Amino acid sequence: MRKHVFGVLSITMVIISIVFFLLTRGPNVNIQLGISVFTGLSIIGIILAIASKRIWYIIIGSVLNGFVLYFVILLIFAYGISEN
């Protein structure tokens, strides 16, 4: 398999995360489901970025998927605050 396919798939994971967020937003959203989906997609995206072995895809894929992980951390804080 060509190496650039992994890089494109890494960026695709970010796009899937954005689409999932837009489809599941609202007051009655299941935060635990969002946390697990975003975490899984972003970890897979980072692994695919590293597997591409092209510096462009490694940088772009890691940064974009890192932003998704940062969003997951904010969701975890929001979930912890809302339990009280």
Chain segment 19-52, per-residue pLDDT in tens: 999 999 888 888 889 999 999 999 999 999 999 9
User: Which of 78, 64, 5 lies closest to 35 in space, CA to CA?
Assistant: 78
Distance of alpha carbon 54 from alpha carbon 16, whole angstroms: 22
- Report the percent of the chain where pLDDT is more than 90: 70
Q: Please, which pLDDT band fits residue 60 given cuts at 50, 70 and 90?
A: very high
Is residue 75 pLDDT above 90, yes or no? no
Separation of alpha carbons 81 and 10, rounded Å: 31
Residue 84 has pLDDT above 60, yes or no: no
Residue of higher predicted confidence among 70 and 83: 70
